[in-house]
């Protein structure tokens, strides 16, 4: 069995993402539900982040997703807020309502309540929008609310870094 590597700490991911965005001349935006602004907070913790971080949307309520990101209410009704379709629409909406060229969106069940058999606590959908298109991914994280939210931030950042266009 190959050795497993510990996850990269969030501040290190932010520094790597910042350098990659600056090298490419790109700005990023975030659209967050279950993380409540933690991704934007992690990004802006780094001094000089205004060079590559454009804005963040915290759209915790379904109405906020519709009002701020143009996620159709019918889409939320059909698939639920925690879904691939909504994560993708959030990522696209963040680009449409910003000056950024890339975005990351997260929607999930951080817990400890709110889970269901279909979408248990720890379920998170990610959306990333880049000039190459919109990408999505589903993950399920273990742990308490704080652990789920921190794992979501780390995966959101590493996922965007991996999907940036080649410099």
1 confidence band (pLDDT: 50, 70, 90): low
pLDDT averaged over the chain? Answer: 96
Distance CA 147, CA 145 (A): 6
Task: State how far the Cα of 8 lies from the Cα of 6, in Å rounded to an integer.
Answer: 6
Confidence of residue 68 (pLDDT cuts 50, 70, 90): very high
Please give the average per-residue pLDDT across 121-132, as a whole number. Answer: 97
Q: What angle do CA 132, 6, 10 make, to 5 degrees?
A: 55
Q: What pLDDT was estimated at residue 2?
A: 60
Residue 8, pLDDT score = 82
Q: At residue 12, what are phi and psi to the nearest 5 degrees? A: -70, -40
Res 4: pLDDT: 64
> What share of the chain in percent tops pLDDT 70?
96
Note the pLDDT of residue 3. Answer: 62
Domains and CATH numbers, the chain: 10-163 (3.90.950.20)
What mean pLDDT is predicted for residues 37-66?
A: 98
pLDDT > 90 fraction of the chain, expressed in percent and rounded: 93
């Amino acid at each position: 069995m190959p050795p497993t590597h510990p996850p990269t700490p969030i501040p290190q991911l932010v520094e790597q993402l910042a350098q990659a965005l600056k090298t490419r001349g790109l700005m990023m935006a975030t659209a967050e539900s279950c993380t409540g602004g933690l991704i934007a907070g992690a990004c802006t913790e780094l001094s000089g982040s205004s060079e590559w971080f454009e804005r963040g949307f915290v759209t915790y309520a379904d109405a906020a997703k519709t009002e701020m990101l143009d996620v159709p209410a019918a889409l939320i009704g059909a698939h639920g807020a925690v879904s691939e379709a909504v994560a993708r629409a959030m990522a696209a909406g963040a680009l449409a309502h910003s000056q950024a060229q890339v975005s990351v969106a997260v929607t999930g069940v951080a817990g400890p309540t709110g889970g269901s058999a279909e979408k248990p606590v720890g379920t998170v959908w990610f959306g990333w929008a880049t000039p190459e298109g919109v990408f999505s991914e589903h993950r399920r994280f273990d742990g308490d609310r704080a652990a789920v939210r921190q794992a979501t931030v780390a995966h959101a950042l590493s996922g965007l870094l991996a999907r940036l266009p080649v410099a």
